[in-house]
Structure 1
Amino acid sequence: MNDQALGTICDYLKPKMFEENAQVIEAGQPLNVMLYIIAGSMQAYLPIRAAGEACPSTSFETLEKGMFVGEQLLDWAAKTKTFYDQPVSFKTVRCAEKVEAFALTVNDWKTLVVSRDIFQRSSKSEV
């Protein structure tokens, strides 16, 4: 990806604020947003099934300033041909404290790929 493409992506970034304990992403649900954390921290964990109900696991990954959440959308946007194959999150992500982030939604990625051609594709018909 070249500097011009990165600049175009930055034009689509939107600031987002999340309160402490807010659930941002739920495991098993479509991944709708990619976040770049600029302040605060989040916890990502794989849910455990106990008696048919999902429970938070005791092991989690801490996501902090400078880290991404939902980065699978970048890979998806670069490879998708139809946009009907939106990825599903395999982790639940909650805010450990108040979080500030920059967001790119699925629709932002669709617009960037279709109208801006930020990824090297041989033709628009691939999208």
Structure 2
Amino acid sequence: MNDQALGTICDYLKPKMFKENAQVVEAGQPLNTMLYIIAGSMQAYLPIRAAGEACPSTSFEILEKGMLVGEQLLDWAAKTKTFYDQPVSFKTVRCAEKVEAFALTINDLKTLVVSKDIFQRSSKSEV
């Protein structure tokens, strides 16, 4: 992705605040937003199934300043042809503390791909 495409994406970013313990993404649910963390931290974990119920894993990944949540949306947007095959999250993400982030919604990403051509495609008919 070139600098112009990154600049165009930045124009669509919106500030977002999350409270401590807020659930940001649930495993198995569609990803609607990509987040760039600018302050605070989150925990991402794979749920464990015990007796048919999902329970938090005891091992988790810490996501902090400068890291992304939902970055697979960029890869999906670059490859999708229909936008009907929205990816789902494999992890549950919760805020370990108050978090400030910049958000790029899936609808904004669709708009960027269709109208701004942030990804190289051979023709507009592919989207």
Interval containing the TM-score (normalised by the shorter chain): over 0.9
Displacement after TM superposition at 1:105 (Å): 0.7
For residues 11-64 of structure 1, the C-alpha deviation after alignment (integer angstroms, 9 at most, x for no partner) is 000000000000000000001110000000000000001111100000000000
The answer as to 2:115 corresponding to 1:119 is no
Q: Residue 108 of structure 1 aligns to a residue in which SS?
A: helix
Distance in 1 separating the partners of 2:2 and 2:45? 33
1:49 aligned counterpart, secondary structure: strand
Instruction: Give me the whole-angstrom Cα distance separating, in 1, the residues matched to 2:72 and 2:102.
Output: 16
Q: State the identity %.
A: 94
Q: Which runs of at least 4 in structure 1 moved beyond 6 Å after TM superposition?
A: none
Q: How many residues align?
A: 127
1:75-112 deviations in whole A, cap 9, x for unaligned? 00111100001000000000000000000011011000
Indicate whether 1:82 and 2:82 are aligned: yes
Within 1, Cα distance between the matches of 2:3 and 2:61? 31
Distance in 2 of aligned mates of 1:114 and 1:16? 25
Q: CA RMSD in A?
A: 0.4
Q: Distance in 1 between matches of 2:82 and 2:14?
A: 25
Deviation for aligned residue 1:2: 1.3
State the Cα distance separating 1:3 from its structure 2 match: 1.1
Q: Structure 1: which 5+ runs fail to align?
A: none
Secondary structure in 2 matching 1:38: strand
Residue 27 of structure 1 aligns to a residue in which SS? Answer: coil
Q: 2:54, 2:31 → 1: CA distance?
A: 18
Q: TM-score, normalised by structure 2?
A: 0.99
